[in-house]
Amino acid sequence: MGKTKLFIILITVFTTLLGGLVVLFLSFNLVSKTTQAQSAFPFTFGVAGDYANGSNFQATAGQVKAQNVNFQLAVGDLAYSTVEQSWCNYWKNTAFYNNILIVAGNHDSGESSSGNINTYAQYCPYTLSSPSVGTYAKQYYFDYPQTSPIARFIMISPGLGGSYIGFDTNYAVGHQGYTFTQNAIDDARAKGVKWVVVGMHKNCLSMGTKSCEIGTDLMNLLINKRVDLVLQGHDHNYQRGKQLTCAQTNSYNASCVADDGADGIYTKGAGTIFVVAGMGGQGLYSINTSDSEAGYFAKWMGSNINATYGFTKFTVTDSQIIAQFIRSAGSTFTDAFTITNSPPPSDTTPPSVPTNLTATGTAYNKVNLSWTASTDNVGVTGYKIFRNSGATPIGTSSTNSYSDTSVSAGNTYTYTVSAYDAAGNESAKSASAGATTPCAAPVTTKGVATTSVDLTDAGTYKIWSRIMAPDTTKNSYVLQIDGDCGTIVGDSAIAANSWTWVDYKDGVTSSKITQSLTSGTHTVKMIGRESNVKLDRVIFTTDLTCIPIGTGDNCTITNPPPDTTAPSVSISSPTAGTTVSGTVNVTANATDNVSVAKVEFYVDGSLKSTDTTSPYSYSWDTTTTTNGSHTLSAKAYDAAGNVGTSSNVSVTVNNAAPTDTTPPSVSITNLNNGAAIKDVINVTASATDNVGVTKVEFYVDSSLKATSTSAPYSFSWDTKTVTNGSHSVSAKAYDTVNNSTATVTVTVDNQAPSTPTNLTATAAAYNKVNLAWTASTDNVGVTGYWVVRNGTTIASSATNSYIDNTVSAFTAYSYNVIAFDAVGNVSAPSNTATATTPAVSDTQAPTAPTNLSVTTVSTSQINLAWNASTDNIGVTGYEVYRNNTKIATVNTLSFGDATVSAGNTYSYFVKARDAASNVSAASNTVTVTVSPPPAGNVLTFTPIADASVKKDSASTNYGSAPTLVVDHDPFKNFLMKFSVSGISGRQIVSAKLRLYAMDPSDLGGTFHKMGNGWSEKTVTWNNALPNEITPFSRLGSVSAGNWYEIDAKPLITGDGTFSLKVHSTSNNGAGYYSREQGSGFVPKLIITVK
């Protein structure tokens, strides 16, 4: 179904009105030729996560400034190291961008040791004029713009570990995070805020490397509330979701998709769009297009598909959100989409009715359906399947077939099918088709008995069986009536060696055995299932409420008189007037004419406990109630629902309160003695007490500034309200009887250094410019100077001089310097100084490389090495020639050629080159012939099992994952198992393990022998076998998209099964494709024998 696309033309009209400037925004619908007024306050914002602190991050920060968005949302994992202040200062002082708004990621929360979100919040504070609600950087929301807001932004921290967050990050139903998010969404809708956007770090749906870490409760809340956008990081790639009305993790449900996003235009309110934007600068992760959740996404990019860094820019009006991927580094990926209030043309035509429906009972638990497909004016989305004239479908199918696996043996079922399209139009139901399922395969018999029962009345009978079992696990038999498929009676835990009446089937005590039978004679067959199980008698009774006693004679009367007698019950202990304390055992006596089903215990009319077996009792912790008089009572129930109530018993609770003589302990957690600070600081304190902290007071210079009554204890201090210089900051913690104080002394410095003067620039050589200037002064002290060249900061200097040796010959440069102090105050730029470097003429070529050598690595790779050349200025690289054709240029003294083939001869030489493109003479020439392996002597194996194990998910199995990961923080290992055959006693020449890397690392891993007693589908961190301490091989740095070989000869001793485990000491883990990945990337073990 097509959509009306909106092309927006912005017309700016300038007019004088009360001395002001009026900007009118108009939009024209080019289809209907009508004009509609747009919001008077459009704004822009950006989003990205996972930045790090390198050149890709700096490029992204530069693009954020260039796009001049109103604010940038950083969705977690900021610097990946403890450089919080310098990371924030880069935005402000180098990128010259201030409105960076943050929320925590796992590398900021303490879950992964990298940085502290509380320190980030200090140096990247909340800067908007719109008020925020909640705890900034952790869990908060704000509306934008401040006046007549059209969007609410809700920033939360679900699924994060570590100690820096300070509150419960489980966002499941009933937890504070779920309630905060739900209330923030409902409040926005109640106030008429047009757009709702939710930002966080971790994911639930992903076609990358991550799993559902925020929990399905939160994901379903966001979808059910029709949140417009969900913005996430964590998975280092870009994924734009389809518009969803529901979702299922680890599988794809096409009926959940309201709009597939193929044309980039979504309709507001139709569903929720998830956007993963983890491309801020840290190394990218791969995309798995075969992932079970890939169907939920419309556009994607990762390390293996058009790897590009950047951020997503959003332009917001009250009628639409326009999104655009902004590239900062890497490849050339692009994406754009729009959410608009303008709905597409309506489709009111239903599909045609499905025809030729057939149903076949192929097994005792399966009926297969097929039919002729329907047609539709736009397109058939799927089919609904109905069974036995039910109004609710039992399932849906996107094709013209369906398997119903929820049927039972020996039953007849009828089916109809209807077709529906994407607009929700549904056809009439098809003609019906029926099928009967066969009986299940015969059970293994442990004896058979056949008899008959004569029933005088037709009706519904309940069937009881009296069973004695040798233990609590073997206690069932099969009951067949009139040759039906049979019912498994019992098969649940009952007391051993005791006659027990059973009225349930298939091990489910709530699944009672009832059957409609005619009057007359019926054949009854009883088939044993387990050894030594005894069956004493079977009762058929129309009294569906009767419970057999003894031999069951009480249930043999077809219509017994009803039980109307209530049980009697009384509190036996404690007695009336007793004074109690601590934990008290409350007991009751209960009797009934038939039997007592349960006894309930009440305190002051509130139900506290239920006991179903005699003697009836309840353990009452009186410390949970107030001192004074309280009333105890009990109710007894029988199987007929009759209730007896005891008399009230009054007791007195007297629990003496302990004397508290221990004062709280308190410390200021984010300020140290002597620290220099400026601007707005979030002062935080930690307080504990043996009973409980009632409040924490914060003081500046003995003046009370704030009081916090719940953890985390903090207050926001604007240091510009005090003078520059030394100040004391104190926190005083209270409990009900004592208090304690912690104090630190800090230096407030909000004064910038003076401007540097008399800057001079002198071109000392073609590749050097000397700078000097008159030093700045500062009220505390100048820390250093930023050196700015041609408008870009290139370095810092601790003195009043600097040598720039990164310049080029015969080029003009302009310079400024900016002074800064220890807290980041910066001066105005100095005067501008210019210099032009002299020209240089280089016509001398480097010397020729020497001692070129060649080594054959395998039948598909050879390695070259040579000695370095020299040059009058400097060698910049080496050109590698094969068979007189240049095949590569490198800046190292070695090269690996992985494009050779067995049986061919190759000649190589190398030339050196300098920056002036002077090229040396050729090195010596080496020739090599790549020999093919002896026929039949190369054996290739793929793993019979492989799996990752993770310490932070110690009981989770990852045996079906398409990747293998190894990391030191958090701990992750992976295991592999090979079954080797065909060596047959021959000598092993070599054994190579080949792995395809999809995630780069400075350490590919250490490889250790281990035992074979593990299974791919059950192995976890907790049950993985230990490995040998000394590794048999080690792999150095790896990069994504390459094959790597590991020497596995120490592992393989001949034919047999061999297992290995891979560890890493690097915090930047590596990733490889597993045997589940397929598509030519499966790990291989290649063994050469002779």
How many Cα neighbours within 13 Å face the side chain of 701? 10
Closest CA to 69 of 97, 36, 111, 40: 97
Under the banding of pLDDT at 50, 70 and 90, the label for residue 1037 is: confident
Q: Are strands 336-340 and 320-330 parallel, antiparallel or unpaired?
A: antiparallel
278-292, 301-315, 372-386 — which is least confidently predicted? Answer: 372-386
- For residue 345, whether the previous peptide bond is cis, meaning omega lies within 30 degrees of 0, is no
Q: Which CATH superfamily is domain 568-653 in?
A: Immunoglobulins (2.60.40.10)
- Residue 101, pLDDT score: 95
Mean pLDDT of 50-68: 91
Distance between CA atoms of residues 891 and 874, nearest Å = 12
Assess contact for 638 and 594: CB atoms under 8 A: yes
The model carries a pTM of 0.37
The values of phi and psi at residue 636, to 5°, are -115, 140
Under the banding of pLDDT at 50, 70 and 90, the label for residue 441 is: low
Mean pLDDT of 135-142: 96
Domain 757-836 in CATH 2.60.40.10: yes
Q: How far is C-alpha 623 from the chain's CA centre?
A: 42
Give the DSSP letter string of 729-759: EEEEEE-SS-EEEEEEEEEE---PPPPPEEE
Mean pLDDT of 237-244: 96
Residue type, 288: N
- Residue 3, pLDDT score: 29
Mean pLDDT of 142-151: 94
The values of phi and psi at residue 12, to 5°, are -100, 120
For residue 992, pLDDT beyond 60:
yes
Q: Which residues of 790-815 are buried (b: 16+ CB within 10 A; e: fewer)?
A: eeebeeeeeebebebeebebeeebeb
- Return the structure tokens found at 881: 């020639």
Q: Which fold has domain 665-748?
A: Immunoglobulin-like (2.60.40)
Mean pLDDT of 802-815: 88
For residue 345, pLDDT beyond 70:
no
CATH number for the domain running over 49-340: 3.60.21.10
Assess contact for 70 and 41: CB atoms under 8 A: no
- Residue 894, pLDDT score: 78
Distance between CA atoms of residues 193 and 185, nearest Å = 10
127-136, 225-234, 999-1008 — which is least confidently predicted? Answer: 999-1008
For residue 38, pLDDT beyond 80:
no
Give the DSSP letter string of 277-343: E--SSSPPPP--TT-TTGGGEEEEEBTTBS-EEEEEEEEE-SSEEEEEEEEEEES----EEEEES-P
Closest CA to 371 of 404, 400, 402, 403: 400
Distance between CA atoms of residues 949 and 965, nearest Å = 8
CATH number for the domain running over 448-555: 2.60.120.260
- Residue 657, pLDDT score: 67
- DSSP state for residue 624 in the 8-state scheme: G
Closest CA to 138 of 110, 114, 112, 113: 110
For residue 241, pLDDT beyond 80:
yes
Choice between 1019 and 894, residue whose per-residue pLDDT is larger: 1019
Choice between 473 and 898, residue whose per-residue pLDDT is larger: 473
CATH number for the domain running over 938-1089: 2.60.120
Mean pLDDT of 156-160: 95
- Residue 507, pLDDT score: 80
- Return the structure tokens found at 786: 């930023």
Distance between CA atoms of residues 217 and 159, nearest Å = 12
pLDDT digits (tens, 9 = 90+) for 918-951: 999 999 999 999 877 655 588 999 999 999 999 9
162-176, 310-324, 552-566 — which is least confidently predicted? Answer: 552-566
Q: Where are the beta strands (DSSP E) in 981-1069?
A: 988-999, 1005-1010, 1033-1035, 1042-1047, 1056-1063
**Terminal CA-to-CA distance of the chain, rounded, Å?**
65
Choice between 527 and 964, residue whose per-residue pLDDT is larger: 964
For residue 585, count CB atoms less than 10 angstroms from its CB and return exposed for 0-12, middle for 13-18, buried for 19 or more: exposed
The reply to whether 355-436 and 850-929 are identical in fold is yes
Under the banding of pLDDT at 50, 70 and 90, the label for residue 46 is: very high
Residues 6+ apart with CB under 8 A from 986: 937, 1089, 1090
- Return the structure tokens found at 79: 């610097």
Residue type, 801: S
Q: What is the largest CA-CA distance in the chain?
A: 120
Give the DSSP letter string of 395-449: EEESSSEEEE-S--TT-EEEEEEEEEETT--BPPPPPPEEEEPPPPPPPPPS-EE
Choice between 280 and 1090, residue whose per-residue pLDDT is larger: 280
- Return the structure tokens found at 957: 């199995």
Residues 6+ apart with CB under 8 A from 732: 666, 696, 697, 699, 739, 740, 741
Mean pLDDT of 187-215: 94
For residue 20, pLDDT beyond 70:
no
Hunting for tokens 């050349």 — which residue is that?
A: 869
The values of phi and psi at residue 620, to 5°, are -105, 115
Residues 6+ apart with CB under 8 A from 48: 60, 72, 74, 75, 233, 277, 278, 279, 280, 310, 311, 312
Give the DSSP letter string of 25-45: -EEEETTTTEEEE--S--EEE
The values of phi and psi at residue 953, to 5°, are -135, 65
Hunting for tokens 């994901």 — which residue is that?
A: 219
For residue 828, pLDDT beyond 80:
yes
Show me where the domains of the chain are located.
49-340, 355-436, 448-555, 568-653, 665-748, 757-836, 850-929, 938-1089
Residues 6+ apart with CB under 8 A from 1080: none
Mean pLDDT of the chain: 87
- Residue 2, pLDDT score: 35
Mean pLDDT of 287-301: 95
The shares of helix, strand and coil residues in the chain, as percent rounded to the nearest 5, are 5, 45, 50
Closest CA to 270 of 356, 338, 357: 338
- Return the structure tokens found at 605: 């009319």
What CATH class does 355-436 carry? mainly beta
pLDDT digits (tens, 9 = 90+) for 681-705: 889 999 998 888 999 999 999 899 9
- Residue 602, pLDDT score: 96
For residue 16, pLDDT beyond 60:
no
Mean pLDDT of 854-878: 84
297-301, 518-522, 736-740, 804-808 — which is least confidently predicted? Answer: 736-740
Q: Where are the beta strands (DSSP E) in 1017-1055?
A: 1033-1035, 1042-1047
CATH number for the domain running over 850-929: 2.60.40.10
Mean pLDDT of 818-842: 87
Mean pLDDT of 387-394: 91
- Return the structure tokens found at 404: 């119903």
